[in-house]
Chain A
């Protein structure tokens, strides 16, 4: 990676162009003004770069070289499931690019068949009765699922249900989605063993509970083994169970949310089903429901057309490539890799809950506390060694959380190299803490001044 300090605007020279379009001298504004249509036209200048095609290609290629991706190296990124993105999946979309989303179904039979195959496959993998593919991301799926919970209670005249229960270990999107959907968030504590405290849950239940959101395995990578009892308690008070699919990967081949008592769930196709993360999207967050929510599924319109069709098609190629045989292996390999890292590092890093984990696990900083060296320092030092940082300071249960998820597509050699680097960082922490505190040293830029960025935000380029 090499530092490159240009913005496309700084390459601009008046008169250069980078497009290839038929000539056209017409001027809509002049033509309409001549007809007397005035007052609706742009008057301010339009500041866009004027650059040639080679300028554009070189600029963005240079930018790309300051980026880390799954194809560059290992992402031990907890709850993000950064698995390998198969290249075959990038080519299957070509013949669908010209399809208009409002074309009658009779002229889009192939696209419709793909969507219906995906709904069926997701139902089978998740143990659900129906799916909508409209949501464009995981959090969008959460919001959609909560809307379905709302529709369900409303249709029964049960409008007093204004609260959603969420464990303290939950992903931040859970409470944010519940609040966006107008619910009051009630937090339920975890026990010292990291699982939901059923005794703390019981008194929260009542006629004002709309439902409970959970992910299983939870964000500590622990399987909530009392899930049937939890579901039965929540159902008993008239609430519904929501499954956050961010942690679905380890369940592949092992168990299905629908069989654990969940009524509604989302799946992150960009996690479990390998579609590329794209630097923060496009994702896809299909929502599945049990029988009792089926009638409400098609009442909701949560995005413009059919959802992120291009992402759904890639996930479809993934499911076909793996097939029933290899899909069933993914969860096991992911779990094996996570436990392998955990056992290999627990003498150097503090493992607050020492039990078998699923796809991910959480350390609470360095063993022995680390002195002045924080989790942030460890994460930044990893960048020097060519690894992405783990998820840090989440879940909020531990002050120095380091959350590691290796996925099933990393080889033992990669895991061993990561383990070795994590061990040597732990040694550095005691011998040369300054090296960690000022890390990274081998990246295109060093630690940015985030305080300055937030104090006086510069959020766009200023044209002279």
Chain B
């Protein structure tokens, strides 16, 4: 017997009798013997609970605990204690997709709240129930631009997007038949004009941590008959201009900054929102409000005619499972934070990152390639020493920072979790390093 399997010998016999089979093997008589598994799996033997715990403790001991001063798509923000407490409630954790609305009002209500909050942050009209992560949300937005403009096939992506986002865009473009053009001169590329232009993807905050200005871009993109997509950090949208304010048609990004632990990169959740004009082209699930047979307010999955289980090859996307529980995670986060909490997170990040930025420059070992440009928590510097050695020296001292970029800069990130003492210690290491 095994803890998760309740079948006793007696049960098995009774069930086989009902079926009219001599043995369990008879149930597999239709599986050709040529490829029946003969000698079992070459895998470890069953472990007890404590053995499994010991295995994971052993793994954990081979990771180095570091103080994180890096971002680049994954940010070390604070997780309020309430969140894991709520998300681990088994009514949420072990539930299926809420197709049976009558017994899924909990899931449906929090998704409706999430959709509302994503709309509040981005300023957009409609948000879906979540995507896998930010980069895949960007890739789906790229496909959506093509779908919305019909026969057009070219999407321009800013080369200032995070490297991880560009890599996923390239993979999708190459294999989904989209002509992806990467450039840092977006305005010129749009002005040059191509009849084939379907969309333009730009970051709200770019790979250098700089808040970008998109003044006039939406008008130019719309004049060219294309859609504007903005990739944003939802946490920062509490202070930076929203995609709606810039005139974007689609907003995407990663909700990891809304209180999710780093967890070696996942799970997190992507989000996707658009103006109501494109609502029916939006991929993924949507929750809508309605009433039940007795007139009570309730919620259902709606506009499902866009989705794979109804439309098959004509669906707006193949997405099925998304990141529902992580959407709950950030919905609880945003409920706890409210407008004031989110403002304070940004203020703490701003104060901390500028303190570290200035202190590092003051060591005389860096220059600032983007002097005067506004940043909130992440910034890059040009090191005046070997960047690889710098990162290693920091690692040896217990810090993960000075991430080397493709351009030869080093990037740092300071969230509200970093203390003055930690920053001073990092600066001291930089100062004293014999590099």
Contacts and interface: CB of A to CB of B under 8 A. Distances in A.
Interface in B16-60: 16, 18-21, 24, 26-32, 34-37, 40-47, 49, 51-53, 55-60
Interface stretch (B90-98, B186-194, B378-386, B421-429): B90-98
Interface residues of A, number: 196
Nearest to A458: B289
Nearest to B310: A172
A207 to B, nearest CB: 20
Nearest to B237: A42
Interface string B218-259: 000000000000000000011111101100000000100000
B-side interface size class: 35 or more
A41 to B, nearest CB: 6
A42 B245 contact: yes
Contact of A309 (B266, B302, B340): B266
A333 B7 contact: yes
A449 B20 CA distance: 45
B66 A66 contact: no
B265 A108 contact: no
B110 interface: yes
B20 A343 contact: yes
Nearest to B107: A279
Interface stretch (A233-241, A364-372, A405-413): A405-413
A128 B335 CA distance: 45
B313 A281 contact: no
A25 B299 CA distance: 40
Interface in A297-354: 300-311, 313, 317, 319-330, 332-333, 335-337, 339-340, 343-344
B61 A305 contact: no
B416 A185 contact: no
B19 A448 contact: no
A448 B94 contact: no
Interface in A171-216: 172-173, 175-182, 185
A324 B42 contact: yes
Contacts of B350: 26, 28, 31
A71 B94 CA distance: 7
Nearest to A330: B5
Contacts of A323: 43-47
B6 A412 contact: yes
Contacts of B240: 40-42
A246 to B, nearest CB: 10
B127 A103 contact: no
Given A280-B285, A333-B5, A356-B29, A60 B164 contact: no
B412 interface: no
B30 A223 contact: yes
Interface string B104-123: 11110110110111011101
Interface-centre pick from B104, B172, B261 (highest chain A CB count, 10 A): B104
B334 interface: yes
Nearest to B259: A19
Given A279-B325, A309-B266, A67 B92 contact: yes
A39 B215 contact: yes
A179 B31 CA distance: 31
The 10 A-B residue pairs with the shortest CB-CB distance, nearest first, are: A305-B265, A101-B265, A323-B46, A278-B325, A67-B106, A110-B59, A176-B308, A282-B267, A280-B324, A69-B94
9 contacts: A42-B241, A72-B90, A102-B74, A179-B314, A180-B143, A180-B317, A253-B41, A306-B266, A447-B293
Given A138-B321, A228-B32, 10 more contacts: A46-B238, A57-B82, A65-B91, A65-B106, A102-B403, A255-B36, A255-B37, A325-B45, A332-B28, A458-B290
